[in-house]
């Protein structure tokens, strides 16, 4: 076994500036895009001012402006991966959070709120075209996660997934929130799950989306109501992870994994340590404690396994910037479930200090476990070319010495 570790980041981000997606948008939408983009930029700027402390954000970016262009520039991207010792990456939309997002509301959230279905599809497919082109530079190292606005039209979504696979994208992100649309235990989505199972495509949910008006007001971000809604940000950050797990709750109890046993799902950047164990305990409690819920009728007999067993078979976790406390729970969650991610180029991620992170976080962790979390689990889950990635890791990867060093966390 090589001394050099294969590191796969299960959570990276890339995308163009909004206006730069125009060549990838169908020409019939160009006039609408010319009108919509300035409005979207204004809304995005307002959201940044409301959501982030601009001075802190700007100060973080200032010394690394050139490296941040790796959000869309391929040469800078490779330089970043090599600096971090990352052999392969899973790429979600929204590069620099408030700068690089597809048009027409087709970014990381894919929110149905105020969306025009036809336009959201246009924006999503524009991003998918660009992403397929970007990842084609080296498909073994770049696993692109396509955006599919499933809620509007299931057959269109099925056709789009087939297009994605034909163009090298075998991972897909769907909306975390469904608003007034049918949730994911509805059988109307079965043709969608079926094509995923048939083609080996992996479903992704990424944290961040939440019903923003409930926290910040109906007119946010154009209207600042922070004086009338004190604590809004604290409420949002305390609840945002819950919205990530909600689709999976519907899919498990709705029998989606019973009907489609080979369907694979990833939850990314989801508060592993403080969300997963109690959530799984709650689901299994409701499954096994019959007396507790007997008066509610039978909602178990059509499931052949417990919720926790479906989770172990069908779900993995993109554990972005995973802290030491999460790693200590690896056997509770399932050591084969955790896949590390850097979250580049987001400021809450490990970059540009990933090498220090490896040492401080993994020192003293058993090497077998550390190898799984940093890369081997992702190789198995995504079906990556291990030999090819080992060749990359032999050149740029961190050494297994990180597990045996005396780091801050040892």
Q: What pLDDT digit, counting tens, does each position of 57-84 carry?
A: 788 888 999 999 999 999 999 999 999 9
pLDDT of residue 294 exceeding 90: no
> Mind listing the pLDDT tens digit for each residue in 89-140?
999 999 886 678 899 999 988 999 999 999 999 999 999 999 999 999 999 9
Structure confidence at residue 325 (pLDDT): 86
Report yes or no on 160 lying in a domain: yes
* pLDDT score, position 197: 97
Nearest Cα residue to 407 out of 307, 327, 336, 352: 327
C-beta separation of 94 from 100 below 8 A: yes
Q: Using CA atoms, how far apart are residues 165 and 146, in angstroms rounded to an integer?
A: 10
Listed residue (107, 45, 46, 38) closest to 71, CA to CA: 107
Q: 259 lies in which domain range?
A: 8-403
Q: What is the pLDDT of residues 197-235, one digit of tens each?
A: 999 999 999 999 999 999 999 988 888 898 999 999 999
- Any domain includes 408: no
Asked if residue 275 has pLDDT above 90, the reply is no
In a domain, 1, yes or no: no
Q: Which residue has the higher pLDDT, 350 or 325?
A: 350
Residue at 376 is within a domain: yes
Q: Is residue 410 in some structural domain? A: no
- Kindly state the DSSP code that residue 398 receives in the 8-state scheme: P
Distance CA 4, CA 291 (A): 53
| Any domain includes 3 | no
Residue 189's pLDDT band, with cuts at 50, 70 and 90, is: very high
Contact (Cβ atoms closer than 8 angstroms) between residue 9 and residue 89: yes
- Average pLDDT of the residues in 279-295: 86
What CATH number is attached to the domain comprising 100?
3.20.20.140
Crossing angle of helices 354-362/74-84, nearest 10°? 30
C-alpha pair distances (Å), 327 with each of 87, 155, 362: 21, 40, 9
- Distance between CA 78 and CA 404 in Å, rounded? 28
Asked if residue 350 belongs to a domain, the reply is: yes
Residue 114 lies in a domain: yes
pLDDT at residue 112, as a whole number: 94
Please state the domain count of the chain. Answer: 1
Task: Output phi, psi for 66, to 5 deg.
Answer: -65, -45
Q: Would you state the pLDDT for residue 149?
A: 98
According to the model, what pLDDT value does residue 409 have?
A: 41
**Is the pLDDT confidence value at 292 over 80?**
no
Mean pLDDT of the chain: 93
């Amino acid at each position: 076994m090589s001394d050099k570790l294969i590191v796969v980041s299960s959570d990276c981000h890339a995308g163009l500036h909004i206006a730069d997606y125009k060549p990838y948008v169908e020409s019939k939408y160009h006039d609408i895009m010319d009108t919509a983009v300035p409005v979207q930029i204004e809304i995005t700027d307002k959201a940044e001012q409301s959501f982030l402390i601009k001075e802190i954000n700007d100060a973080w970016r200032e010394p690394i402006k050139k490296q941040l262009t790796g959000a869309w520039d391929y040469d800078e991207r490779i330089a970043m991966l090599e600096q971090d010792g990352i052999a392969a990456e899973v790429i979600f939309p929204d590069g620099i959070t408030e700068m690089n997002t597809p048009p027409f509301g087709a970014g990381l959230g894919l929110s149905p709120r105020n969306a025009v279905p036809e336009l959201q599809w246009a924006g999503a497919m524009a991003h998918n075209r660009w992403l397929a082109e970007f990842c084609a530079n080296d498909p073994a190292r770049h696993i692109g996660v396509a955006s599919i606005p499933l809620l509007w039209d299931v057959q269109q979504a099925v056709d789009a997934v087939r297009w994605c696979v034909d163009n090298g994208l075998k991972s897909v992100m769907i909306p975390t929130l469904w608003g007034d649309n049918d949730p994911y235990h509805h059988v109307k989505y079965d043709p969608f799950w079926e094509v995923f199972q048939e083609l080996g495509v992996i479903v992704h949910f990424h944290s961040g989306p939440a019903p923003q008006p409930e926290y910040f007001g109906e007119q946010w971000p154009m209207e600042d109501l922070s004086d009338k809604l004190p604590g809004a940000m604290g409420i949002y950050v305390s609840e945002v992870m819950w919205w990530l797990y909600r689709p999976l709750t519907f899919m498990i109890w709705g029998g989606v994994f019973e009907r489609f046993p080979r369907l694979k799902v990833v939850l990314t950047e989801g508060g592993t340590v403080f969300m997963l164990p109690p959530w799984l305990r709650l689901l299994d409690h409701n499954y096994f404690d019959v007396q507790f819920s007997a008066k509610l009728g039978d909602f178990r007999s059509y499931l052949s396994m417990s919720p926790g067993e479906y989770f172990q078979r069908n779900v993995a976790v993109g554990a972005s910037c995973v802290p030491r406390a999460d790693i200590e729970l690896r056997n509770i969650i399932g050591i084969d479930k955790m896949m590390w991610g850097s979250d580049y180029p987001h400021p809450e991620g490990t970059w540009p200090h990933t090498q220090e992170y490896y040492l401080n976080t993994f020192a003293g962790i058993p090497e077998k476990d550390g190898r799984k979390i940093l890369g081997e689990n992702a190789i198995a889950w995504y079906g990556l070319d291990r030999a090819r990635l080992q060749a990359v890791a032999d050149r740029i990867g961190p050494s297994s010495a990180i597990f045996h060093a005396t780091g801050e966390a040892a």
